[in-house]
Structure 1
Amino acid sequence: MTPFARLTATETKLFFREPMAVFFTLGFPPLLLVVFGSLPSFREPQDELGGLRTIDLYAPIVVALGIAMFAMTTLPQQFTAYREKGVLRRMRTTPVKPAAMLGAQLLMSTVLSVCTMLVVLAVARLAFDVRLPRLPPAYLVAYLLSAVAMFSIGLLVAALAPTGKSAGAGGTLLFFPVLFFAGLWVPRESMNDVLRTISDFTPLGAGVQSLQDAAAGDWPQLLHIAVMLGWTIAAGGPAARYFRWE
């Protein structure tokens, strides 16, 4: 194994030693989908949604929730905990570079969140007869772009936050607005023009729409791809620049 692969494997093992983090990032999204799907109103076709059911719209939104749980809670707090406990300070004496550390966290989070996505899609299909994405390659591309954009934001919070409490507060402060514009409280289809436009320029708003487009058999729109790439660059660059070992 290369040093980067060993670092990624080690970070993955450490992640699975935290039961609460494992539950909320890997288990909570599928559980929430089951709760939504158990509501009779979510399983009835809606004329204002073009004959779709509400649960059909919420499948990609719950997938986006899984990304946000990783990005806004697990990543920032894990990094700041490493910093406060002196783990990063000791790693500084090794050949490990900040980019490698950030990259290992990014890769681990992306792979694990893909597992969450697959579980959510399986539950949606088997339990609630939600149609699987008609264009799987486009769905995967949309997912990876939105995940990397959100994880970059989470790593930026981790790089800037001086303590674990401030990282948790910063992540929570971003968590709820990002999910609102992703459609967790009000689906994008039910938003007015102003809210939908704002949603288009948020990382998860663009991500959810791209996932819905792929589920319907279309490739993501160029605007949404540009938005997700823009957030990745805008957050990922400063995250590496301001990364602190102690």
Structure 2
Amino acid sequence: MSTLQGSATWRLVKAESTLCVRDKVAPLWGIGFPLILLIILASVPDLRQLVEGGGGLTYFDLYVPVLILFNLAILATASLPATLAGYRENGVLRRMRTTPVGPARVLAGQLVANLAIAVIAMVLFLATAWLGFGVDLPQHPLGFALAWLLAAAALLAIGLLISALAPGRAAATAIGTVLFFPLIFFAGLWGPISQMPPLLREIAPFTPLGAGMGAFQNAYLGDFPSVVQLLTLAAYAAVCGFVAVRWFRWE
């Protein structure tokens, strides 16, 4: 029985991955748009200036991990919810309900498909920044890898939660858009976290992208991410993932 269940899960993952690539929304917005934005930012001279108290990093150096988080945020708040909510709206999930698939496998299929795109995007961003613009790779690779994995899990779990509850594509898009801007704000897209007002600086480490950005910065400087940062990301992943499976709506 477990072998059959595993086989069904794997077939679902492969099917969702194929549909994700064929749909082109996730690859274009999750990889293409942030990569173009990275190249544009690299051409801005002012971003080559050193950040005060940034440990020798320039503003552009800081934007590389920000755009990696930006990629995760797009996948989590736009691509993933719109796809699964579209299935619900079109009656696909209602038909799947009659099969032994279950909510966990449906969500797992979307999670793996979007995670694969996120991995490709992360590798492309780091390679482009390093080979094309001379940005150093993280000095603590293991710390960066762990931080990225937990950040991806946290963001995609939020996307799964939106997907599980939104009645249709329009609602999922609206919820994702509302969440996207405050999430990416705390990653430092519009300005470094260190230059935020004191209250926002205190809030930022306990948001998913604020914790992710802090962990990335530590890894870039050669330090292992702090326990608080990693636990914050793990908590978002666990809580949002549990709620998504528990209150999943088939229709």
**TM-score of the superposition, structure 2-length normalised?**
0.94
Q: Within 2, Cα distance between the matches of 1:172 and 1:231? A: 19
Matching residue of 1:129:
134
Q: Aligned to 2:189, what secondary structure does the other structure show?
A: coil
Do 1:98 and 1:240's aligned partners in 2 also have CA atoms closer than 8 Å?
A: yes
Are positions 1:39 and 2:47 aligned together? no
Matching residue of 1:85:
90
Which residue of 194, 201, 205 maps to 1:196?
201
The more displaced of 207-216 and 38-47 is 38-47
Which residue of 57, 67, 71 maps to 1:62?
67
Q: Aligned to 1:134, what secondary structure does the other structure show?
A: coil
Q: Within 1, Cα distance between the matches of 2:77 and 2:137? A: 27
Do 2:20 and 2:113's aligned partners in 1 also have CA atoms closer than 8 Å?
A: no
Q: Within 1, Cα distance between the matches of 2:51 and 2:150? A: 30
- Superposed displacement of residue 198, structure 1: 0.8
Q: Aligned to 1:219, what secondary structure does the other structure show?
A: coil
Do 2:17 and 2:109's aligned partners in 1 also have CA atoms closer than 8 Å?
A: no
Q: Aligned to 2:13, what secondary structure does the other structure show?
A: helix
Do 1:133 and 1:215's aligned partners in 2 also have CA atoms closer than 8 Å?
A: yes
- Superposed displacement of residue 45, structure 1: 2.8
Q: Aligned to 1:17, what secondary structure does the other structure show?
A: helix
Q: Within 1, Cα distance between the matches of 2:134 and 2:195? A: 22
| 1:218-242 deviation line (CA, Å, top 9, x unaligned) | 1111111111111112211111111
Letter in 2 for 1:30: L
Are positions 1:101 and 2:106 aligned together? yes
Matching residue of 2:143:
138
Aligned pairs for 1:1-246 (under 5 A) are 2-246=7-251
- Superposed displacement of residue 19, structure 1: 2.5
Q: Within 1, Cα distance between the matches of 2:38 and 2:121? A: 12
Do 2:64 and 2:125's aligned partners in 1 also have CA atoms closer than 8 Å?
A: yes
| 1:87-124 deviation line (CA, Å, top 9, x unaligned) | 11111122211111111211221121011001000111
The more displaced of 16-25 and 175-184 is 16-25
- Superposed displacement of residue 51, structure 1: 3.3
Runs of 4+ more than 3 Å apart: 46-51
Letter in 1 for 2:25: M
Do 1:8 and 1:104's aligned partners in 2 also have CA atoms closer than 8 Å?
A: yes
Q: Aligned to 2:186, what secondary structure does the other structure show?
A: helix
Percent of aligned positions with the same letter in both sequences? 43
Q: Within 1, Cα distance between the matches of 2:133 and 2:22? A: 32
Do 2:66 and 2:187's aligned partners in 1 also have CA atoms closer than 8 Å?
A: yes
How many positions carry a matched residue from both structures?
246
Q: For the aligned residues, what is the CA RMSD?
A: 1.4
